[in-house]
Structure 1
Amino acid sequence: MNEKNRKKIQYAAAIQSQLAEMLQDEECNHYLDDWQENVTEFFTAINMAACNMFNKVTDDNKTFLEFSYIVNQLTVQHIIAQRDDKEIDKY
């Protein structure tokens, strides 16, 4: 597996772990006990948070819709790179 794909998998695992803690660990400072009753709002909020972080990191001012376009572009780039990285299927 190439280093870029390895990094993406590492980052995704760390983010997923933190989200799982928020949803499962009542001792977590940011525990969300009602997320299953508000699944649409929860996943929309994930995108909103990612957009806000993107804007802070890049000093940009993308709207949520503009950010979703960027995420879609990155997803397509990842899929194309994944096709070339035969080792990624092992993970």
Structure 2
Amino acid sequence: MKMKNALSNAYAKLGVMATLGMSSVAFAETGASSTNYLDGLIEKVNVEPIITGIVAVSGTIMGVAVVVMGIKKVARMLNVF
């Protein structure tokens, strides 16, 4: 249990440090004249791969659902005879 807690704490600390580092870099690049400090972070985030992944996964799930429904329909039709 100690090892799990140590790994969990290390993971949390690493996440906090990474977030702090990204924020510091974004704030340094935006300059002191910017009033919205999140603009620098928002400009760095690329959401296109995330959207592509979500669309691909949802399309795959829908395709599998249609195939399963078709198999069930054919099975019901064969059981009628």
State the TM-score, normalized to the length of structure 2: 0.34
| Larger RCO (CA under 8 A, 6+ residues apart) | 1
Q: Larger Rg: 1 or 2?
A: 2
- Whichever structure has more helix as a proportion of its residues is 2
